[in-house]
Chains A and B, each alone.
Chain A
Amino acid sequence: GAVVSQHPSRVICKSGTSVKIECRSLDFQATTMFWYRQFPKQSLMLMATSNEGSKATYEQGVEKDKFLINHASLTLSTLTVTSAHPEDSSFYICSARSQGYGYTFGSGTRLTVV
């Protein structure tokens, strides 16, 4: 089946620093990847749609300068949380559309900003 690998699984960073999260499709090419954040006991909220070779499309209310998305290849998309603050602490998940498997999700990244 389609597999999406997401790293790191957990990261703790100091307030004001930047954190990069990687999302790789291992056995298929993903022209489009999606980035979500999830707060405890809440559902996934789409942050942005990442298209290979072009600028990401951000959902309303999501700061594009704070959440930098790069989709440089058909198998890799990255989300960089810049100048992180405690309110950015959340569970970040990527997904990619794969033929026959719906939307395959990464295992998620637990970000804690202290």
Chain B
Amino acid sequence: EDQVTQSPEALRLQEGESSSLNCSYTVSGLRGLFWYRQDPGKGPEFLFTLYSAGEEKEKERLKATLTKKESFLHITAPKPEDSATYLCAVVESGGFKTIFGAGTRLFVKA
């Protein structure tokens, strides 16, 4: 069964305290892995797409990496405005169906 598991469920950081979020996945073939940010009461906001193992992408304080079994979202020197739920999703090769993880709720305290 295809699965996407994110950890931790919640993460509390002090401003400037770098950390990483994990997304492990089990699919027969990966078409793409996506990271989204979701603020309360809003739809997910696209951050990154990763397609193959070894690929990395960066955007401001965020960096996403991908291996054959998992992806990490590294947050460097986070700020309070980075507080949100970060969702990981995968699309299996040969299709368009997106499978979402449960998300990691990030809280960054000033």
Q: A: which residues have CB within 8 A of B?
A: 4, 6, 32, 34, 41-46, 49, 91, 93, 95, 97, 101-108, 110
Contact = CB atoms under 8 A, between A and B. Distances in A.
List 4 tightest A-B contacts by C-beta distance, closest first: A105-B43, A43-B102, A43-B100, A108-B43
A103 B87 CA distance: 13
Contacts of B46: 101-105
Contact of B44 (A41, A46, A93): A93
* Residue from A34, A41, A43, A49 with most neighbouring chain B CB atoms (10 Å): A43
Given A6-B43, A102-B49, A104-B46, A34 B102 contact: no
Contact of A46 (B36, B87, B97, B101): B97
A105 B44 contact: yes
Interface residues of B, number: 20
A43 B97 contact: no
A73 to B, nearest CB: 19
B86 to A, nearest CB: 11
Given A6-B43, A42-B102, 17 more contacts: A34-B96, A34-B98, A43-B87, A44-B44, A45-B100, A91-B41, A95-B98, A102-B32, A102-B34, A102-B46, A103-B89, A103-B98, A105-B43, A105-B44, A107-B43, A108-B41, A108-B42
